[in-house]
Amino acid sequence: MFKDLIKIYQKTINVNFRFDFPKKKKILVFDDVGSDIFKKIIKKNFNILKVRDDREIYFWIVLKQIIFLDFKFFTYCKNYINFTSPKIVITFIDNRIMFYELKNNFRNIRFISVQNGHRTKKYFRDEFKQVNKKNLNCDHFFVYNKYYKEKFGKFIKSKFHLLGNIKNNFVSIDNSKFNNHFLYISAYRKNNKKRMKLEKKILGLINLYLSSTNRQLHILTRSKNYFEQREEIEYFKKIYKSSCVFPKTNRWDETYKIIDRYENIIFIFSSLGYEAIAREKKVVIFPTKTENHLNEYIKLNALERKRLNFFRVNKFTYKETKRVFNNISKCSYNVWKKKYFSVIKDQLYFDKNNTKFKKILSKILKNSN
């Protein structure tokens, strides 16, 4: 009993208890991640059910659980949904299994999931291995591409829609500015030593090439926080020991505007790299064995594979790096669009202004009146 109380205390130590009641609204967002962009898209008020460490718990809803000694957060979620009676429950954390289990308790409420990141083969192998597939349901699932429709469809019963990245879709593509500079999308993660070691090797190869052509490397930092961004910039400066250009931003929408200013994008393992593809940029890709999305997603014939190798670095050597960079430097945008873009355009769909997404939401809300 004492151990149970300790566990309960540990779970509630960061919880903010509220003693009022949540208002009843037609839309409930499961987790506050993505709620900022969602508000811009639909321009409606909605409830947010926080499911992370900084949970916000309504005392009068959880009181029933206390009486019956049921301290499961899953139960709290069910009670919250029952109390607020939404027409739609939507999440932008597609990898939270609990969301798909909750749907089984609400036949008349539409559950919608929106993919917010790339998922590897390892993810599907590990995440679903102990899950009862029959218990995972969703009404509408918006995914990046056909590959994910197939993969998620093996575990989750839902109607799938090809959307791409919802944030990427929200920012209009600006094709007015082009130059021959290369923008590298940072994969900086100081706590992942294996990844950092690989990135450092690749950055050295990129530096050799750009130095030989008297160019600077433009680097889009992964961090948006001021202090983390400063730390990341110092990391790159130590590697290059020369000036680099760091287009700075602390807003997610400005990130896409920066990408639009560059003709050539370099990336290793980055969802933003695939978003750049959807924005029709010329790309240099350094695929890795653990996160080689291109090999996972595309089934190519001989001609298409040859065209893929035009912009993909297959070996981490200077000779191979030089080959691909020269290809991209000499390739005009028109040739890229006509000959090479078609090979990878389905990596990430681009639904301008999220038209499909808004149409389905509007239809559900209209039918619920």
d(CA 85, CA 220) in angstroms, rounded, equals: 43
Record the tokens describing residue 345, joined without a space: 């355009």
**The dihedral of CA 289, 294, 298, 301: what is its sign?**
negative
The span from the CA of 127 to the CA of 109, in Å, is 26
**Quick one: the chain helix, strand, coil %, rounded to 5?**
50, 15, 35
Residue 29, SS3 per DSSP:
strand
Residue 308 and residue 344 in contact, taking contact as beta carbons nearer than 8 Å: yes
Q: What is the pLDDT of residue 5?
A: 40
Work out the pLDDT band at 9, boundaries 50, 70, 90.
very low
* C-alpha span between 106 and 165 (Å, rounded): 27
In the prediction, which pLDDT does 322 show?
Answer: 97
Which of the two residues, 179 and 332, has the higher pLDDT score?
Answer: 332
Q: pLDDT class for 310, splitting at 50, 70, 90?
A: very high
Q: What is the pLDDT of residue 77?
A: 94
**pLDDT for residue 14:** 66
Q: Are 40 and 169 in contact (CB under 8 A)?
A: no
pLDDT at 216: 86
Distance, CA of 85 to CA of 167 (rounded, Å): 28
More confident residue, 15 or 99: 99
Q: pLDDT averaged over the chain?
A: 87
Which domains can be identified in the chain, with CATH numbers?
A: 2-169+351-367 (3.40.50), 182-347 (3.40.50.2000)
Q: Higher-confidence residue: 17 or 258?
A: 258
Measured distance CA(317)–CA(328) in Å, rounded? 17
**What confidence score (pLDDT) does residue 120 get?**
80
pLDDT of residue 176: 64
Q: How confident is the model at residue 11 (pLDDT cuts 50, 70, 90)?
A: low
Q: What percent of the chain has pLDDT over 70?
A: 91
Coil, helix or strand for 167? helix
pLDDT tens-digit series, residues 232-259: 999 888 887 667 899 978 888 999 999 9
User: What's the Cα-to-Cα distance from 176 to each of 167, 205, 351, rounded to whole Å?
Assistant: 21, 30, 20
Task: Please give the average per-residue pLDDT across 32-48, as a whole number.
Answer: 92
Q: Which residues contact 298 (CB under 8 A, 6 or more apart)?
A: 304, 308, 343, 344, 346, 347
Q: Is pLDDT at 224 greater than 60 in this prediction?
A: yes
Q: Rounded to an integer, what distance in angstroms lies between the CA atom of residue 240 and that of residue 262?
A: 21
pLDDT in tens, 277-298: 999 999 999 987 655 555 555 5
Provide Rg for the chain, Cα atoms.
23
Euclidean distance between CA atoms 364 and 336, whole angstroms: 40
pLDDT digit string, tens, across residues 155-206: 999 999 999 999 999 999 987 666 788 999 998 888 888 888 888 899 999 9
Identify which has the larger pLDDT, 361 or 3.
361
CA separation for the pair 286, 316 (Å, rounded)? 8
Asked whether the predicted pLDDT for residue 43 surpasses 60, the reply is yes
- Mean pLDDT within 214-227: 88
Instruction: Give the whole-angstrom CA distance, residue 30 versus residue 50.
Output: 7
